[in-house]
Amino acid sequence: MSPAARLRDLKPDWISDPKVWRTEVLAGLVVALALIPEAISFSIIAGVDPALGLFASFTMAVVISIVGGRRAMISAATGAVALVIAPLNREHGLGHLIAAVILAGVFQVALGALGVAKLMRFIPRSVMVGFVNSLAILIFLAQVPEMHDVPWAVYPLIAAGLALMVFFPKITTVIPAPLVSIVVLTVITVGAAIAVPTVGDKGELPSSLPVPGLPNVPFTMDTLTTVAPYAFAMALVGLMESLMTAKLVDDITDTHSNKTRESIGQGIANIVTGFFGGMGGCAMIGQTMINVKVSGARTRVSTFLAGAFLMVLCIAFGPMVSDIPMAALVAVMIMVSFATFDWHSIAPKTFRRMPAGEIIVMLVTVACVVITHNLAIGVVVGSITAMVIFANRVAHLAEVTAVLDPDGTTVVYQVTGELFFASSNDLVGQFNYEGDPDKVIIDLSAAHVWDASSVAALDAIETKYSERGKTVEITGLNTPSARLHGKLSSELTAGH
């Protein structure tokens, strides 16, 4: 086979598919338009110039499209990152903030290489559902200020935008409905000279590309100790939000992504962003939903173009972009919120069939996220709640039944279930130390010993019997349980 033919075989099918290219290009344009007011708003939260948020969105999107592990996912400046680094900027200035962004990227690369992405498998489905629903609620709540104390014309514009996005796809899906909505509402407000809040009211758009450089800080140990805690917090929040978003996109598109590559890619993107003077970021769930669920994008092209179009729109078409009414973007985000929410999870039929523990975990996750406006906190608290409920449920599955031999010289205790710190605490009290005969057999063939607490409980049982002159024989241990028991037995009590 010739090199040219081999190259053709290696090319993905979509490269030569004009329909895919149209979808990806238009999706990138819609996302770029939606990124502008968001990036400016997050810059305000972080206390920096709006250009820094826009630069971050540009560099994050472009870099992650090349080095990231999840295709079609959008990374840019985010509120979660802005909240983490805002105190550092307020107390120490912009130079320290930029240094923290670069260091956060280094931390993310290191954590990714160490396999932090593998922890995703410990996040239960109920937490994931709560994460999705709380995300939808936060997206909607973020639009509420744009509908408060505004000219009356904003409300019919939002309604018109929603109507266009609902009914236009029934006519054609060649052009994304959100793009049609933005263009139509902009033409109406500009043509009729309707005075409503616009993108330009959020802040001045940059007029040139960012220039690389080093953060303006003294390169000392004191600077490192100042920025390191903020950088580590940013790295953790950014990774958690990015990996959760990647998992969500995996489910929506029914495809798999490389979470380790995504973790390292997020770090590289933040390092590049820091050297270009951006405020840092991570995966943007709302914009990702616009790209994947609303616009139908599936490749890295849309992610790259979202960043590229963002700078082109700001630099070359700044005055036109500034005239886009915020009502058009609010309508897009409300539609995203509605499409993101898992309505099946709150259906009466689901509540009747779902175990109470699963519902509690979902509600706790949603409540924590909505109260704190921090997705990472909600995921952590929800996961801990799920673990506690699971441990409590499994703890009750450990049962002990006693069978006395006909001759009355031996009693066999059959232990069934999982033995770990929660279930083994009650194990010691389920034996008749005074009334049992001199020989006691504990059969663990239907049980599994998971931790040191269980081994200590078995040691305590043997001790109580030996104090009464009785012997204990433990049988039926499977290979892992026998290995753990042999390693720790008699090493966990006082005096050893």
Report the pLDDT value the prediction gives residue 306, as an integer from 0 to 100. Answer: 96
Q: What is the DSSP string of 442-477?
A: EEEEEEEE-SHHHHHHHHHHHHHHHTTT-EEEEE--
**Do the beta carbons of residue 333 and residue 34 sit within 8 Å?**
yes
E strand or H helix at 221: helix 221-253
pLDDT of residue 13: 55
Output DSSP code: residue 212: -
What is residue 10's predicted lDDT score, i.e. its pLDDT? 46
Q: Cα–Cα distance between 59 and 269 in angstroms, integer?
A: 7
What's the length of the chain? 496
Only one residue has tokens 């790295």, namely 235
Q: Is the dihedral of CA 51, 57, 63, 66 positive or negative?
A: negative
Q: 404 φ, ψ to 5°? A: -90, 130
Helix, strand, coil percent values for the chain (each to nearest 5): 70, 10, 25
Strands (E), 277-374: 282-283
Radius of gyration (C-alpha) of the chain in whole angstroms? 29
5: enclosing H helix or E strand:
helix 3-10
pLDDT at 352: 84
Measured CA to CA, the distance from residue 17 to residue 13 in angstroms comes to 7
Q: What distance in Å separates the CA atoms of residue 380 and residue 374, rounded to the nearest whole number?
A: 10
- Please report, as a single letter, which amino acid is at residue 82: A
Q: Provide φ and ψ at 198, rounded to 5°.
A: -125, 175
Beta carbons of 331 and 161 less than 8 angstroms apart: yes
The DSSP symbol for 490 reads T
Cα–Cα distance, 423 to 312 (Å, whole number): 61
Low-confidence ranges of the chain (pLDDT < 70): 1-16, 395-397, 491-496
Residue 138's Cα: distance from chain center in Å?
14
